Amino acid sequence: MSLPELPAPDTEAIHVHGAAGQLGPFSRRDIQDKLDAGDVKPEDHFWFDGMDGWITIASHPPLLEGLELPEAPTGPEPGESQDDYLDSVFGDLVQASWDYFNAHAFSSHVDEVFLGSVITSTLDQGYALIDLTSDGTHHYLRFEDLEDHSRVIYRLTHLTSDLTQARVLGQRAKVVVGYGEKMKNFAKVWKALQAEWKSGYLRTPEPGTITVDGDMQSGYIYVQIDMYWSIDEYIGADYDIDYAKLTLHVGACVHALRKYLRGRFA
């Protein structure tokens, strides 16, 4: 959507509609602060005078770009000494540097933390990690139940490592989850799949699409699903991890894929 000229950073002209209803008016800087505090979500909608309709904050990154710091006072407040004023200015500079450093560090490290969290949550489902590789962009994981030899596989891709992008969209990951079992009649199943389509993998599958593929060397048939997960749901800014929620989501995916596989190839 083409938008009218955005209000100045400190002009309170923008309304936000989210779970709490309609809020505002806010300035663009207010919205950034409320995003950082969790009071406003990237999926909330915003509107200001001149727009044709409401759109999500996440769909328009320029809303939060170019937010220079507000103009700082140029001298001490009444009753404040010059010495105290300069100490305060210096302290603000140091704090702003730490804020940026911590935000950038979190955006850089959250990918590794998310990877470790997925591993832990899958181990909690009773699977053993048998393979882990990374190519700099994607992480590939393979787990196996050592009793029934079923397997769970992942491809994890951190999508918002850029700090500005992460502030607007939140920390997001593309997650491909797969479930596989060794088939005694693998050759027959694989021949049937080949008759349906040349390749079980879609190049650009939509979220929720279940695809099927097989590993001829091991005799496993896999079903997998493409999704987009909000890392912020599982990992807080202080690296506090909600393992209960992540383990539940992993378990739900494995359960659904297992039912699909067994229902189709029983």
Residue 181 within a domain: yes
Question: How confident is the model at residue 115, as a pLDDT?
Answer: 96
Question: How confident is the model at residue 154, as a pLDDT?
Answer: 97
Same domain, yes or no, for 128 and 252?
yes
Residue 231 within a domain: yes
Give the range of the structural domain holding residue 185, as residue numbers without chain letter: 110-265
Residue 38 within a domain: yes
CA–CA gap between residue 248 and residue 239 (Å, rounded): 19
Same domain, yes or no, for 19 and 129?
no
* pTM to 2 decimal places: 0.65
CA gyration radius, the chain:
24
Q: What is the residue-averaged pLDDT of the chain?
A: 85
260 in Cβ contact with 225 (< 8 Å): no
Domains of the chain: total: 2
Ranges of residues in the chain with a pLDDT under 50 are 199-203
Residue 70 within a domain: no
Q: Residue 60 phi/psi, 5° resolution?
A: -140, 75
16 in Cβ contact with 40 (< 8 Å): yes
- The residues facing 47 across adjacent strands are 15
